């Protein structure tokens, strides 16, 4: 699943790491591939990503096997990360001259032999070769949309890129999931944006939206996801619900929001006891 939106600050990295942690805490084996040169997903998962660390740059440019750069996430069993280092900032230029430059990540994933239930790819806020590599490698696209005024601006270009990649490089690619982030129920604007997005995208929009939350913002500074930093917070509960909804969609089960809310509360209680 490719988490993409060329607009910055919409919650791509936050969504990637917290959904990955939620799916892993539900018992899945999940790999996060950090394709953003800033390495924020690696930071949030507590993975070291200074310049000397083997990273996704080595996989894309030096053809190193993915298995040699993947690291287990210390706080969450079943969660793994392929980190990004600052070297990745130059990869856009270096990839231009390489053979099969758009499909290097796809081939690395295909050669990865460890069993996995989910792979989440965190993209940079651009539509360059790194994002194209992610789109060629992925089966689905998840687009986080923040509930603010410019929410839908620029999305047209992303959707056109998805269509181009589907037409020429990856026929299976489709936008499967839209997640509303930074939702503030106190403002009329947030509900108007949410309504507009639901009218525009229909069934692709998850019923669960992610609220504005101080806990979600604080967690990365401790090298954690909000699921382990504060399992009882509204942000942790929302990501658990969103992950449950995605998982149930994947096996074709009808999603019941009230039932999922109760289930997520049970998960949160069990997880809090486990962490203690």
Domain of 198, CATH number, reads 3.40.50.300
Give the end-to-end CA distance of the chain in Å, rounded to a whole number: 31
Distant-in-sequence, close-in-space partners of 265: CB < 8 Å, separation ≥ 6: 237
Q: Please report the pLDDT score of residue 133 as a whole number.
A: 95
Could you tell me the residue range of the domain that residue 166 belongs to?
2-275
Sole residue written with tokens 């096997």: 65
| pLDDT tens track for 109-166 | 999 999 999 999 999 998 889 999 999 999 999 999 999 888 888 788 889 999 999 9
Measured CA to CA, the distance from residue 269 to residue 178 in angstroms comes to 27
Q: Quote the CA–CA distance of 158 and 144 in Å, as a whole number.
A: 12
What does the mean pLDDT of the chain come to?
Answer: 89
- What distance in Å separates the CA atoms of residue 127 and residue 274, rounded to the nearest whole number? 40
Record the pTM. Answer: 0.88
Count of structural domains, the chain = 1
The reported pLDDT for the residue numbered 263 is 52
pLDDT one-digit tens code per residue, 33-87: 999 999 999 999 999 988 889 999 999 999 999 999 999 999 899 999 999 999 9
pLDDT digits (tens, 9 = 90+) for 151-193: 888 788 889 999 999 999 999 999 999 999 999 988 999 999 9
């Amino acid at each position: 699943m490719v988490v993409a939106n060329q607009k910055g600050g919409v919650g791509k990295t936050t969504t990637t790491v917290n959904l990955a942690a939620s799916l892993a805490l539900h018992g899945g084996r999940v790999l996060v591939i950090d394709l953003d040169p800033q390495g924020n997903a690696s930071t949030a998962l507590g993975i070291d990503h200074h310049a000397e660390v083997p990273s996704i740059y080595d996989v894309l440019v030096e053809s190193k096997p993915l298995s040699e750069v993947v690291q287990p996430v210390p706080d969450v069993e079943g969660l793994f990360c392929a980190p990004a280092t600052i070297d990745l900032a130059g990869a856009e230029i270096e990839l231009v001259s390489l053979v099969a430059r758009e499909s290097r990540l796809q081939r690395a994933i295909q050669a990865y032999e460890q069993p996995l239930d989910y792979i989440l790819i965190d993209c940079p806020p651009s539509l360059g070769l790194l994002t194209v590599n992610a789109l060629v490698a992925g089966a689905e696209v998840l687009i986080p949309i923040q509930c603010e005024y410019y929410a839908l601006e620029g999305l047209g270009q992303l959707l056109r890129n998805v269509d181009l990649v589907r037409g020429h490089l990856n026929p299976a690619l489709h936008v499967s999931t839209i997640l509303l982030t930074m939702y503030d129920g106190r403002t009329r604007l947030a509900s108007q944006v949410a309504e507009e997005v639901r009218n525009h995208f229909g069934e692709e929009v998850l019923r669960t939206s992610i609220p504005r939350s101080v806990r979600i913002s604080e967690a990365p500074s401790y090298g954690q996801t909000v699921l382990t930093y504060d399992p009882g917070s509204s942000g942790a509960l929302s990501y658990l619900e969103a992950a449950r909804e995605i998982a149930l969609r994947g096996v074709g089960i009808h999603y019941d929001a009230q039932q999922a809310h109760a289930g997520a509360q049970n998960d949160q209680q069990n997880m809090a006891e486990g962490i203690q």
